[in-house]
Amino acid sequence: MLEIDDADAVTEAALRRVAEDPEMPQSERAHAESTVREDTAEAVAFLVDPFDLVGDVPGVELQQASWSSEPVAHDPDAPDWDLDDEFDDGADGKDDGGDGGGISRIG
């Protein structure tokens, strides 16, 4: 989950990135600018390269990345947002440190 405190700042940063991209053809630039202005998730996609995020992680090979967004009301005190419960694997209710094994897909 990503919280965006200033969508305008994210959009402006993405527009700068689009404008400064020397390899982007002019015919694509107008479309990219329009997309970034319409959707903050698209703006983030222009700023964050998923391959850069996991490229140096041993045992991980990124095959595909996608973005989506939806506004949510985040209440950190609400029980639904207590992500620590997902890791309480032991009988004593404490985190057993296990990673669940197998292959994980993050998308």
Chain length of the chain: 107
Note the pTM of the prediction, 2 decimals.
0.60
One-character DSSP codes across 43-83 = HHHHH--HHHHHTTSTT----------------TTSGGG-G
Cα angle 56-66-85, degrees, rounded to a multiple of 5? 75
Task: Encode the chain (107 residues) as per-residue pLDDT tens digits.
Answer: 778 889 999 999 999 999 999 999 988 999 999 999 998 988 998 898 888 888 889 998 888 877 666 777 777 777 776 665 555 544 444 444 444 444 434 44
